[in-house]
Amino acid sequence: MNFQLSEEQQMLADSAKRFVRDNHDVEKHRQNKKLMPLDEATWNQFAELGWLAVPFDEEHGGLGMGPLETMVLLQELGEGLIMAPYIATVVLGGGFLRHASDAQQAETIPSLLEGGLQLAFAAEEYERVFTLENTAMKGDVQGGDVVLNGTKSCVLNGDHADQLIVLARTAGEPGDKDGLSLFLVDANAEGVERTPHRTVDGRQGAEIRFRNVKVSDAARIGELNKGYDIARSVLLEGLLALSAECVGSLAVLLNDTVEYSKTRKQFGLPIGKFQVLQFRMADMFIAMEQTQSLLMAATMKLVEGHDDAARAVHAMKAQLGRTGRKIGQEAIQIHGGMGMTDELNVGHFVKRLSAVDGLFGNADVHLMEMAKSA
């Protein structure tokens, strides 16, 4: 057992730390009262720093790294609340491309590594509690083609994306793991209608309607009706990445709250001297450390292929939902009125945590997934 960062991982963490120090992004959230175009300058910087290459094989021009390095990177970026669509394009999108055909890879990966390609995973649907097998959107198999009809909701990075990875039901009923298929679809294809919207955390998503969108065999990722396993393995990595980013955010919330309690005086004392607040901040600290532990457990288990890896990832996402809620709420309460303003960092981190809990299944969903995988 060794919980120390390797030299390479340490370098990645250091470069991310420097980036956050120079580009702390909360100001962007504050200005972000409307839909923002993609911040291409930041994205190009990500490309130059080599971060877009992290999870890709060396034969594709990547760095041949994996979820551990993604964790190290995103935990640092989470401290700065960096909004770049890294998880949508690199972790989820890149994850699917690793399972794509040679032709699909050749068409996408070089461009992605240069910073010229944005991706989005179209998975969630309105009025359906998210699990992969609950997917209802239809793909009708017509000869060699599949015709997509239906609506995907809350697609992260959906409006900036050049290509969409669409999860559709080509056979069976919601609840069946069989019958799911994945397609790489041009976001500007005929019949794809995108309605962009802001998300509560200052980022952007889109509602995407598919009207008779015909996709050929060549557009499929993996086998027809056998998309579940690929989707699940990529999703697990995505959940870890989201969690890593948020663990970074939890650390900032705790730190800001403790520092505020040392300077804010009421009744002649810094409020941090009141035992009732001390105990609550001690509990915030404990919750944060427990979440960090689960993050490391889940990431290492997944990388090393342990039998209970998926179970640990579900535990992680559930814990993140609960801890994020607790630490976020306490951070606001202890900051008092100031915690309710747009001016301080606190609210922006809380909004990010609130959004992430809802994405790809909230704490309840993942506790049930965990229980089922026992």
Task: Return the amino acid letter for 280.
Answer: R
Closer to other proteins by Cβ: residue 62 or 321: 321
Q: Which residues contact 255 (CB under 8 A, 6 or more apart)?
A: none
Q: How many residues belong to the site for other proteins (CB under 8 A)?
A: 57
The answer to whether the CB of 154 falls within 8 A of the CB of 362 is no
Report residue 279 CA to chain centroid gap: 32
Shortest distance, position 128 Cβ to other proteins, whole Å: 5
Residue 193 contacts other proteins per CB under 8 A? no
Which of 18, 211, 265, 273 is close enough to bind other proteins by CB under 8 A? 265
Contacting residue, 350, 366, 369, 370, with other proteins by CB under 8 A: 350
Based on CB atoms, which residue is closest to other proteins, 14 or 343?
Answer: 343
* Cα 349 to the center of its chain, rounded Å: 15
Strands 269-270 and 119-122: unpaired
Q: What is the DSSP letter of 10?
A: H
Residue located via tokens 């993140």: 320
Among 127, 190, 304, 307, binds other proteins (CB under 8 A): 127
Q: How far is the CB of 153 from other proteins (least distance, A)?
A: 6
Residue 284 CB, shortest distance to other proteins, in Å, is 15
Contact 240, 299 (CB under 8 A): yes
End-to-end CA distance of the chain: 25
Per-residue mark of binding to other proteins, 26-65 (x: CB under 8 A): -------x--------------------------------
**Cβ proximity to other proteins, 306 vs 325, nearer residue:** 325
Residue listed under structure tokens 């209970």: 308
| Helix (H), strand (E) at residue 149 | strand 145-156
| Nearest-angstrom CA–CA distance, 62 and 267 | 58
Q: State how beta strands 220-221 and 163-169 pair.
A: unpaired
Please pick, from the candidates 133, 140, 186, 229, the single residue that binds other proteins as defined by CB under 8 A. 133
Residues in contact with other proteins, shown as a per-residue x/- string from 141 to 160 under the rule CB under 8 A: ------------xx------
Most distant CA atoms of the chain, gap in Å: 78
Work out which of 8, 14, 178, 343 binds other proteins, going by CB under 8 A: 343
**Residues 210, 149: Cα–Cα separation, whole Å:** 5
* 70, 108, 257, 362: which one binds other proteins (CB under 8 A): 362
Binding mask 85-124 for other proteins (x = CB under 8 A): ---------------------------------------x
Phi, psi of 362 (to 5 degrees): -85, -170
Residue 246 and residue 239: Cα distance in Å, rounded?
A: 11
CB of 62 to other proteins, least distance (A): 30
Residues 275 to 334 in contact with other proteins, rule: CB under 8 A: 276-277, 325, 329, 332-333
Q: Which of 101, 111, 278, 354 binds other proteins (CB under 8 A)?
A: 354
Least distance from other proteins to the Cβ atom of residue 52, Å: 25
| Residue 329 burial (C-beta neighbours within 10 Å; 0-12, 13-18, 19+) | middle
Q: Are 171 and 124 in contact (CB under 8 A)?
A: no
- Sole window of 70-78, 131-139, 255-263, 302-310 interacting with other proteins (rule: CB under 8 A): 131-139
In this structure, are residues 248 and 78 in contact, taking their beta carbons and an 8 Å threshold?
yes
Binding mask 197-236 for other proteins (x = CB under 8 A): xxxxx---x-x-----------------------------
Residues comprising the chain, all counted = 374
Answer for the pair 145, 215: CB distance below 8 angstroms, yes or no: yes
Residues lying near other proteins in the complex (CB under 8 A) are found at: 33, 124, 126-131, 133-134, 136, 153-154, 174-175, 195, 197-201, 205, 207, 265-267, 276-277, 325, 329, 332-333, 336-337, 339-343, 346-348, 350-351, 354-355, 357-365, 367-368
